[in-house]
Chains A and B, each alone.
Chain A
Amino acid sequence: MTTLIDRYVLTAVRHVPEKQRADIDRELRASIDDAVDARLEAGEDRDAAIDATLRELGDPRRLADQYADRPQYLIGPDMYPVWRGVMKMLFTIVLPIVVVVLQTIHALADPHLGRLIGTTIGLTLTIGAHMAFWTTAVFWILERTGVGRHDLVAGEWAPEHLPKYDARVLTLPQLAAQIVWPVLLGTALVLQQFMFTDEPVLDPANWTFWWPYLLVTFALSVAYGVWVFRKAAWSHAVTVANAVLSLAIAVPVVWLLATDRFFNPAFLDSLNWGEVDDPGRWLTRIVLFSVIVGTAFGIVDTAVKAERARRGLPNRVPGTESPLRAG
């Protein structure tokens, strides 16, 4: 029969590297025996002495971690800020884009609102769990092996790295969005002709002019984003350029929608939204509304930013005093 001390020592050494086991086993036994002997001399009975000694030594797995000099954490303070930055980016930018793109494709193939909401929730949870797990797993490996630690955390902080709180500049994520959205829309516009659904979603007749025209305006949107980013300043020229570009996209789209030449009639006929009557009309109305509101918001938003920049007001940070005037 194994004694309590045997069980303690075996549990501890089982969790240390194999080549240290024999030595730690021997030393730990001697130390425990010494402590038990000291308690016996003080008049305790044997079982109580063993029990008290092992209690003092504590959880053998914790002791093993100390012997093996293993970190008792998943991601240490050096790596944590990098991990947090990556997670924040994944959950606020990548996850919404992926879910929206996948669900847009899904909605075109199977436009049923109830199912759509259900799969959106499921998809968000699944993708979110995968992103969190795999990112953390990679960081755990980096933490244990030390690979890449130098590149990730060596960059010493300097005052120049402070954010500018400046209304003038398009930030890098905003530039990315300004580039990614037109590219996604353009890709979707081309692919819908061949994929996603049995019938093309949009009216194929418009390939003679309007769809190529939209592709050109999407390309111009990308160029506009790069231009604003490099210009590094909102100005009235930017307001005007943005308004012209937005209207150049929105006006033809609204006109095509209003005259029922936007969607492919064959596609609208194939729609089935359950009890909703004439789903084609509803889809047209929803898209019409979204385009008008989205375009108006974009134009006003840019105009406000440009006006703030003209007056030299930096962006506000919620919870702080009203912003100081930029020198």
Chain B
Amino acid sequence: MHGIEDLCEKCEEVMQPFLDRVLSDTERAEAERHLDECGYCRRRYRFEESLRQFVRGCCEEPMPVELKRKLAALRTPLT
């Protein structure tokens, strides 16, 4: 017999492969079944998705214009 806590633990274990879409069909279906009935896990999955987006956003740092010019200057001159 598996209690709900075992199922949540399993769900936590497969969260990353689930969100990366690399779970097998069977594992995916199993996780989805649990997520349908478990708000605890559902909230944590949703949070992970927003967190990933947030981390990406935080890493946006435009390239300095000066660097762009330096890179272009490295091109082979046309003869």
Q: Answer yes or no: are A and B bound together in one complex.
A: no
